[in-house]
């Protein structure tokens, strides 16, 4: 007998009731960043609490099974995806097979059962709050607005500008092509060379806000006094983030809710398309202040904000 070899027979109460859950991952560097790691943590803890067996399955392995003559049900009872930005074809295949799956933090326009954050709501709330604090010239820092959630963020920004009674100006759209803070730094630096300083910036991610803040402070512009900055995610600011006002992306909750949804779908057999919104609470810190050019008229706009522990 060789230790570690052979088959272990599980007790009845340890056996998966509806098959093993597959957590689909791709071996890309993004898997090990804060956001996917927190989503994965939400998956694992929730599945463990529900005594649901699971295993990690590589995207390439799943693709092989889907294109073979083998039944997917022989391997898994359901599948969980993290964001699924490269797995659209796999999701479509699962939908055609009526196989239970859930995507955590869906950021694309794909129709899929998922948990998601409403980026229209976050940018809209940011603009409304800034306008209520007297800011009139509010810029948006984004990636390509035709990609992922950035289209929704732009729509929320435009709606906020309209609701606040301000004039939309496409010159206040600052678009960075880079996924790094350094790209936002150069983009905002170039923007400041040929444009007047806005009253405030709304950034679609914290790393974009970080690059903007570096460009602004380099020109001796005081963040929170001369200009306000709001970010999104509370994850990608490269340093200790006790400074930036931001919406905290609920990555863990996105994963936990997705796992709960999958367990329910495996139990009930109900595979109706479902999208569950998870709120991103606003954390107020030092990077936002009342405009020096205009008195605060907080009662002029209706603000419905959720606040979180500032030390989170």
What CATH code is carried by the domain that includes residue 54? 3.40.50.2300
The pLDDT score that the predictor gives to residue 300 is 42
Residue 234: domain span: 119-248+281-300
Residues 49 and 86 in one domain: yes
pLDDT exceeds cutoff 80 at 17: no
Average pLDDT over every residue of 243-255 = 96
pLDDT exceeds cutoff 80 at 15: no
In a domain, 308, yes or no: no
Residues 271 and 220 in one domain: no
Q: Does residue 249 or residue 85 have the better pLDDT? A: 249
Residues 177 and 289 in one domain: yes
CA distances from 190 to 139, 174, 183, 224 (A): 14, 10, 11, 21
The pLDDT score that the predictor gives to residue 237 is 87
Helix (H, G, I), strand (E, B) or coil at 43: helix
Residues 99 and 138 in one domain: no
CA distances from 252 to 82, 197, 259 (A): 11, 37, 11
Count of domains forming the chain: 2
Residues 136 and 213 in one domain: yes
The pLDDT score that the predictor gives to residue 310 is 36
In a domain, 221, yes or no: yes
Q: How many beta carbons lie within 10 A of that of residue 74, not counting itself?
A: 8
DSSP bridge pairs for 138: 200
What's the predicted TM-score (pTM) here? 0.85
Distance CA 56, CA 81 (A): 10
Per-residue pLDDT band for 242 (boundaries 50, 70, 90) equals confident
Q: Could you tell me if 256 and 228 are in contact, meaning their C-beta atoms sit under 8 angstroms apart?
A: no
CA distances from 192 to 140, 173, 189 (A): 13, 12, 5
Sorted by sequence, the CB contacts under 8 Å of residue 190 that are 6+ apart come out as none
Average pLDDT over every residue of 48-57 = 95
Residues 49 and 194 in one domain: no
Helix (H, G, I), strand (E, B) or coil at 142: strand
The pLDDT score that the predictor gives to residue 28 is 61
In a domain, 43, yes or no: yes
Residues 137 and 203 in one domain: yes
Residues 215 and 263 in one domain: no
In a domain, 3, yes or no: no
Residues 74 and 220 in one domain: no
Residues 208 and 222 in one domain: yes
């Amino acid at each position: 007998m060789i230790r570690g070899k052979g088959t272990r027979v599980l007790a009845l109460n340890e056996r998966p009731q509806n098959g093993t859950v597959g957590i689909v991952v791709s071996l890309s560097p993004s898997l090990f960043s804060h956001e996917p790691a927190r989503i994965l943590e939400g998956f694992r803890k929730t599945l463990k609490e529900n005594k649901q067996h699971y295993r990690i399955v590589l995207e390439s392995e799943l693709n092989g099974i889907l294109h073979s003559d083998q039944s997917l049900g022989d391997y898994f009872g359901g599948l969980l995806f993290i964001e699924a930005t490269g797995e659209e074809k796999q999701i479509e295949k699962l939908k055609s097979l009526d196989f239970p799956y859930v995507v955590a933090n869906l950021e694309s326009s794909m129709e899929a059962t998922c948990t998601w954050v409403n980026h229209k709501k976050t940018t809209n709330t940011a603009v409304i709050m800034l306008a209520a604090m007297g800011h009139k010239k509010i810029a948006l820092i984004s990636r390509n607005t035709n990609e992922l959630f950035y289209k929704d963020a732009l729509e929320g920004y435009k709606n906020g500008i309209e609701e606040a009674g301000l004039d939309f100006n496409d010159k206040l759209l600052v678009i960075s092509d880079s996924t790094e803070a350094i790209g936002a730094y150069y983009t905002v630096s170039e923007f400041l060379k040929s444009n007047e300083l806005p009253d405030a910036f709304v950034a679609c991610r914290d790393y974009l806000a970080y690059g903007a803040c570096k460009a602004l402070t380099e020109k001796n512009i005081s963040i929170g006094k001369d200009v306000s900055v709001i970010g999104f995610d509370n994850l990608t600011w490269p340093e200790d983030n006790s400074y930036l006002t931001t919406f905290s992306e609920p990555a863990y909750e996105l994963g936990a809710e997705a796992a709960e949804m999958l367990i329910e779908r495996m139990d009930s057999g109900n595979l109706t398309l479902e999208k569950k919104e998870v709120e991103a609470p606003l954390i107020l810190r030092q990077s936002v202040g009342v405009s020096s050019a205009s008195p605060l008229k907080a009662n002029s706009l209706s603000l419905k904000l959720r606040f979180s522990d500032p030390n989170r």
